[in-house]
């Protein structure tokens, strides 16, 4: 667990790069174990690579996605509804991991 400073999170890639990387990796591993691996990889590489985590205060994080995330996916065949559902689950896992890594869960 990292000592968390909300002001430092504004420059998160300088101060918390390793923690962010670990949160995304842990979420990927968890989601990849339970869902369509090909779709999980596509979301990871084509949507979440452009996502941005933010700290909202009170131990809450949110992950903003790029515009039109389902339109970004190429090379996989999946209904938009399935993609959106998995994307919601994946983002929730990342937010959960961020809370855990920064000591807000538990």
What percent of the chain lies above the pLDDT cut of 70?
97
pLDDT at 98: 97
Torsion-angle region of 75 (φ positive above 0: left; ψ -120 to 50: alpha; else: beta): left
Closest listed residue to residue 92, CA positions, set 22, 31, 9: 31
Taking only the tens place, the pLDDT of each residue in 50-98 is: 999 999 999 999 999 999 999 998 888 888 889 999 999 999 999 999 9
- pLDDT mean across residues, the chain: 93
Its pTM stands at 0.92
Per-residue DSSP letter, 58? T
pLDDT at 2: 53
């Amino acid at each position: 667990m990292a000592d968390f400073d909300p002001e430092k999170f504004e420059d998160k890639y300088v101060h918390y790069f390793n923690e962010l990387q670990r949160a995304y990796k842990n979420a990927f591993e968890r989601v990849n174990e339970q869902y369509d691996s090909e779709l999980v990889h596509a979301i990871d590489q084509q949507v979440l690579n452009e996502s941005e985590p933010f700290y909202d205060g009170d131990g809450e994080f949110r992950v903003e996605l790029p515009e039109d995330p389902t339109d970004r996916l190429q090379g996989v065949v999946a209904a938009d509804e399935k993609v959106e559902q998995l994307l919601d689950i994946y983002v929730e896992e990342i937010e959960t991991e961020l809370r855990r890594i920064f000591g807000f869960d538990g």
